[in-house]
Structure 1
Amino acid sequence: MTCEGKVKHLIRTIQEGNLSHLKEELGKDEGVLDAVLKGHFGRSGDTMLHYAARYGHLPILKYLVEELGANIELVNSDYKRALHEAASMGHRMCVSYLLAQGARIDCLKKADWTPLMMACTRKNLEVIKDLITSGASLALTNKDGWSSFHIACREGDPEIIQYFLEVSPNIWDVESKIQRTPLHTVAMHGHFEAAELLLERCAYKPDAKDSCGVTPFMDAVQNGHIEIAKLLLERHKADFLATDALGAQSLHRATVTAQDEAIRFLVTELGVNVNERATELKLTALHYAAKEGHTNTIETLLMLEIDIQARDVKGRSALHMACAGQHTNCIKKLIAAGLTDSTDDSGMLASQLLKKPEALKVLHNITDCK
Structure 2
Amino acid sequence: MANEVTVKHLIRLIQEGRLSQLKEEMCKDEGVRAAVLKGHFGRSGDTVLHYAARHGHLEILKYLLEELGTNVELVNGDYKRALHEAASMGHRECMRYLIAQGARVDCLKKADWTPLMMACTRRNLEVVKDLIENGANLCLKNKDGWSSFHIACREGDPEIIQYLLDVSSGIWDVESKINRTPLHTAAMHGHLEAAELLLERCGYKPDAKDSCGVTPFMDAMQNGHIEIAKLLLERHKADFSASDALGARSLHRATVTAQDEAICFLVTELGVNVNERATDLKLTPLHYAAKEGHAGTIATLLTLGADVHARDAKGRSALHMACAGQHIKCIRQLIAAGLTDSTDDNGTLASQLLKKPEALKVLNDITGCE
SS in 1 for 2:27: helix
Q: Deviations over 1:218-266 (max 9, x none)?
A: 0001101000000000000000000011101100000000000000000
Q: Which residue of 1 aligns with 2:46?
A: 46
Mapped contact 1:14–1:51 kept (Cα < 8 A): yes
Q: Which residue of 1 aligns with 2:287?
A: 287
SS in 2 for 1:333: helix
Mapped contact 1:256–1:288 kept (Cα < 8 A): yes
Q: Which residue of 2 aligns with 1:305?
A: 305
Which deviates more, 211-220 or 21-30? Answer: 21-30
Deviation of 1:43 after TM superposition, in Å, equals 1.2
Deviation of 1:368 after TM superposition, in Å, equals 1.2
Deviation of 1:279 after TM superposition, in Å, equals 3.5
AA of the residue aligned to 1:31: G
Is 1:176 the counterpart of 2:158 in the alignment? Answer: no
1:264-279 matches, within 5 Å, as 264-279=264-279
Q: Deviations over 1:313-358 (max 9, x none)?
A: 1111100000000101100010011011111100000010000111
AA of the residue aligned to 2:201: R
Deviation of 1:27 after TM superposition, in Å, equals 2.0
Q: Which residue of 2 aligns with 1:187?
A: 187
Q: Deviations over 1:104-161 (max 9, x none)?
A: 1111100000111011111111111111011111111000000000000000000000
Unmatched 5+ stretches in structure 2: none
Q: CA RMSD in A?
A: 0.8
Q: Deviations over 1:277-302 (max 9, x none)?
A: 10421000000000000000000000
Question: How many pairs does the alignment contain?
Answer: 369
Deviation of 1:367 after TM superposition, in Å, equals 0.8
How far apart in 2 are the matches of 1:206 and 1:15? 50
Deviation of 1:198 after TM superposition, in Å, equals 0.1
Q: Which residue of 2 aligns with 1:333?
A: 333
SS in 1 for 2:368: helix
1:1-370 matches, within 5 Å, as 2-368=2-368
SS in 2 for 1:364: helix
Unmatched 5+ stretches in structure 1: none
Mapped contact 1:187–1:225 kept (Cα < 8 A): yes
Deviation of 1:28 after TM superposition, in Å, equals 2.2
Mapped contact 2:27–2:33 kept (Cα < 8 A): no
Deviation of 1:35 after TM superposition, in Å, equals 1.6
How far apart in 2 are the matches of 1:291 and 1:51? 47
Q: Deviations over 1:193-217 (max 9, x none)?
A: 0000000000000000001111000
Deviation of 1:30 after TM superposition, in Å, equals 2.4
AA of the residue aligned to 2:199: L
Deviation of 1:364 after TM superposition, in Å, equals 1.1
Deviation of 1:32 after TM superposition, in Å, equals 1.1
Q: Deviations over 1:6-36 (max 9, x none)?
A: 1111111111111011011112222211122
AA of the residue aligned to 1:112: D
Mapped contact 1:37–1:69 kept (Cα < 8 A): no
How far apart in 2 are the matches of 1:30 and 1:60? 18
Provide the identity percentage. Answer: 83
AA of the residue aligned to 1:99: I
How far apart in 2 are the matches of 1:306 and 1:3? 71
Structure 1 residue runs of 4 or more that deviate by more than 4 Å after TM superposition: none
How far apart in 1 are the matches of 2:82 and 2:363? 60
How far apart in 2 are the matches of 1:279 and 1:6? 64
SS in 2 for 1:28: coil
